[in-house]
Amino acid sequence: MDIAGLPTPVFCGVDWAEDHHDIAVVDAGGKQLAKLRISDDTAGFTQLIALLAEHGDCESYRIPVAIETSRGLLVARLRATGRPVYAINPLAVARYRDRHSVARRKSDAADAAALANILRVDMDMHRPMPADSELARAIAVLARAQQDAVWDRGQAQNRLRSQLREFYPAILAAFAEHRFGLCSIEARTILAAAPTPTAAAQLTRRQLRALLKRAGRVRGIEAEAERLHEVFQRDYMHHLPQVEAAFGHQTSALVRQLDTACRNADQLEVACTEAFDEHPDASVITSFPGLGSLSGARVLAEIGDDRSRFTNAGSLKAYAGSAPVTRASGKSCVVMSRKVKNQRLAAVGYVWAFSSLTKSPGARAHYDRRREAGDRHTAAQRNLFNRFMGMLYFCLQHDQPYDEAKAFPDQSSKVPALAA
């Protein structure tokens, strides 16, 4: 205890590994008080808590912990204790390591001490992990998994399309105008039944009607079956029979992969939207034009529901990558788009801004003004997304829904307001 009767500041660093973790505890003067290697299990976590308790950790004072990852069971358990947990980028740790040794010496114990010293000297320069609610963390898991599943589905579709271009142009022509393309259940059902162009050409109208019904189609079956039959009967070039059969086997495997990817994306979307609709912030987020339950869940997953996480709207905009960054040196000054950002939030931001153009007259007018001012499409949408992020910050802080009249008031007589 110090002379004021308060605990002496103590800092902990954890060098994370797959099966063990190195722990270092330092005081405010930089003296290393303890070091320990623990296992990646409950016994190891108990050892860590006991070590922190020996150095003043209690209900009224939780020793802050720095670690190089934001995921995993150890991080989850540390956050559950209510202590500040700082996820430090490994590249930043490497720079700090050079402050203590120029010989490029490295060890797990030394990295743990470096992490502890980062908090000792620069804690205010780093942001602790947010105190999000349990529901918000669950939504984050589901939203990110669903986004990954969508990306996997796109990759599976591209692999299948690339394969079909080699030997099966008929199926590409048959679903060229379909909204979902090869991801549609009709295309996947027909490909499963006829994985080669020869097999597709042998399908009768009756068989095509049965396949469309199996795919869930209820309207226009006769006309669609007639159209598909005409497409498959056209004259196409073919590989030799055995080669075409080999392509067919490979196509069947790719169709099964696409089926799995589509089911995963659909099931995760249902789970994600159901969880999001239960969150108190859902009504505010979905009140914005262009945001539905799924895109809103992706936004909430990245910004969380800890109101103290972002000190102002500018920090949220920088985190989303919508705010530009200025690089100035001497007489040189360049304003450019931000590269270091939350890539998931930036991805949903592009979709959000694009969707809002048909749902918000104010958003469309703002986009058009930016285009007239010389912005390209992507830059104009990023500027619109930047404005939306500022509005979202205000609405969440004050628990108010989006208001079109307040968001985009008539500015016909105030041209300079374009730069807002």
Residues 144, 270 share a domain: yes
Calpha distance 274→292 (Å, rounded): 12
pLDDT of residue 412: 42
Of the CA atoms within 13 Å of residue 98, those in its CB half-sphere come to 5
* pLDDT tens by residue, 114-153: 999 999 999 988 889 999 999 999 999 999 999 999 999 9
- The Cα–Cα gap between 275 and 283 comes to 13
Q: What would the pLDDT profile of 341-355 be if each residue is shown by its tens digit?
A: 999 999 999 999 999
Element (H, E) at 25: strand 20-27
Q: What angle do CA 47, 51, 54 make, to 5 degrees?
A: 140
SS3 66: strand
In Å, how far from its chain's centre is CA 93?
24
Nearest CA to 192 out of 209, 174, 211, 166 is that of 211
Asked which of 129, 147, 180 is the last residue of a domain, the reply is: 129
Closest CA to 151 of 286, 265, 275: 265
| Domain assignment of residue 192, yes or no | yes
This prediction has a pTM of 0.85
Banded model confidence at residue 19, pLDDT cuts 50, 70, 90: confident
Of 98, 129, 160, the residue at which a domain comes to its end is 129
SS3 state at 36: strand
Q: What is the CATH number of the domain that holds 105?
A: 3.30.420.10
Q: Give the pLDDT mean for 235-241.
A: 93
Residues 125 and 180 in one domain: no
318 and 411 in a single domain? The answer is yes
Phi/psi zone of residue 399: left (φ > 0), alpha (ψ -120 to 50 degrees), beta? left
Half-sphere exposure of 80 (CA within 13 A, CB side): 10
> What is d(CA 64, CA 70) in angstroms, rounded to the nearest whole number?
14
> Exposed, middle or buried by CB within 10 Å (0-12, 13-18, 19+), for 21?
buried
Which whole number is the average pLDDT over 6-35?
A: 89
**What is the extent of the structural domain holding 18?**
10-129
pLDDT at 8: 74
Report pLDDT digits (tens) over 138-196. Answer: 999 999 999 999 999 999 999 999 999 999 999 999 999 998 999 999 999 999 999 99
Same domain, residue pair 174 and 301: no
Asked whether residue 289 is assigned to any structural domain, the reply reads no
Residues 359 and 269 in one domain: no
Question: Could you say which of 100, 129, 158 is where a domain stops?
Answer: 129
Is 193 domain-assigned? yes
Q: How many domains does the chain have?
A: 3
pLDDT of residue 410: 66
Asked if 39 and 103 sit in the same domain, the reply is yes
DSSP three-state, residue 33 = strand
Q: Does residue 286 sit within a domain?
A: no
SS3 letters across 283-311 = HHHHCCCCCCHHHHHHHHHHHCCCCCCCC
Residue 287, domain member (yes or no): no
**pLDDT exceeds cutoff 70 at 216:** yes
9: which DSSP letter? P
Whether residue 68 is found in the same domain as residue 112: yes
- Dist. CA 282–CA 274, nearest whole Å: 11
CA atoms of 128 and 113, how far apart (whole Å): 18
What pLDDT does 130 receive? 92
Determine the pLDDT at residue 97. 81
Cβ-based neighbours of 55, under 8 Å, separated by 6 or more: 10, 25, 33, 34, 63
Same domain, 118 and 169: no
Residue 283 lies in a domain: no
Are the C-beta atoms of residues 275 and 142 closer than 8 Å to each other? yes
Distance spanning both ends of the chain, measured CA to CA = 51
Residues 145 and 256 in one domain: yes
Q: Is residue 321 part of a domain?
A: yes
Mean of all residue pLDDT scores within the chain: 91
pLDDT digits (tens, 9 = 90+) for 39-93: 999 999 999 999 999 998 888 889 999 999 988 899 999 999 999 999 998 888 8
Q: Taking Cα atoms as reference points, which of 69, 58, 55, 59 lies closest to residue 24? A: 55
Residues 159, 96 within the same domain: no
Q: How far apart are CA 84 and CA 80, in angstroms?
A: 10
The verdict on residue 216 lying in a domain is yes
Cα gap 297→351, rounded to integer Å? 13
What are the strands, taking DSSP E only, across 314-376? 325-329, 332-336
Residues facing 86 on adjacent strands: 66
Inform me whether the pLDDT recorded for 32 exceeds 60: yes
Do 172 and 107 sit in the same domain of this protein?
A: no
Residue 9: how many other CB atoms lie within 10 Å: 17
Q: What's the confidence (pLDDT) of residue 107?
A: 86
What are 402-419's pLDDT values in tens digits? 999 999 986 444 444 333
Q: Do 267 and 312 fall within a single domain?
A: no
State the CB neighbour count (10 A cutoff) for residue 291. 24
